[in-house]
Amino acid sequence: MAHDILAALSARPAAAAAAAGAALALGGALYLRWRMPGSSLRTALQMLRLIQSSPHKSLFSRPPSKEAVLLEAVLASTPEGDAQAVMDAIDKFGYEHWMMNVGDEKGAVLDAAIKQYSPTIMVELGAYCGYSAVRAARLLLPGALLISIEANALCCAITTKVVEHAGLASKHKAIFGNAATALAALKAILARRGATKVDMFFIDHDKRAYLSDLKLLEAAGVIRPGTVLVADNVIVPGAPDYLEYVRGAAYYTSTFTPGYIEYQHKVRDGIEISVCTADPPAAPAAGL
């Protein structure tokens, strides 16, 4: 399917629209999963550009996904280069049509952590539609970099577009995949920048993968003393095994900040911030 769409995109717009219609068959939403070939992120980006410029938008909305509606709302209601306006627009949309972003209230906890630790290299696991990427990148110092790892091709493309629209593309790189598949690219970025570790992780992807991905990153040597882990939704949906691990490990110091699930004030949630104080046992020796 991805190669068919790419071929159509390089031909006539009408043919591209027909191919897009086929891609929208499942529930009406363009849903290019990470299991598709590596070209799917490029496909999704091209599809976004096509949809935004097409006079036949009805072909792409049967009905459109909530994520696609959000993107259109952001692009239509905010000026380019205004990160605060982009965040405000996404928050407004989130209160009206619940979205699984970190949100404005818990987002303030993330803001405070970034301001306190001033990461030079920050990685987020799970970007969704780019809200947390904009929120984080706007606070990074000149020369710092945020790397978003997102396993859904469409969400990865939307994140790229939202960050670009917010005027923060120079501080941001999106990697399509998960922690395991993106690890080689992440380590290559660290090597090019002469870095030995990731300074901060914002963890907000599949809660079932929090602990396994943390251990993967520890073993890869990208978590070292001074690395800060900011984990969202540790109460709801919850990551009890992750909490037990970081709170019980001698090489992390953890604190919990209570809050509520994003965009409502009924269900308790919170953010766990853990600072690595010594090399995890699984980490390779420094310099290897």
Task: State the catalytic residues.
Answer: 204, 207, 232-233, 262
Radius of gyration of the chain (CA): 19
What are the two backbone dihedrals, phi and then psi, of residue 10, each rounded to the nearest 5 degrees?
Answer: -85, -5
Which whole-number Å values give the CA distances from 168 to 142, 172, 218, in the listed order?
11, 7, 29
Burial profile 70-105: b = 16 or more Cβ within 10 angstroms, e = fewer? bbebbbeebeeeebebbbebbbebbeeeebbbbbbe
Q: Count CB atoms within 10 A of the CB of residue 286.
A: 11
Q: CA 96, 99, 101: angle at the middle one, nearest 5?
A: 130
Structure tokens at 85: 């306006």
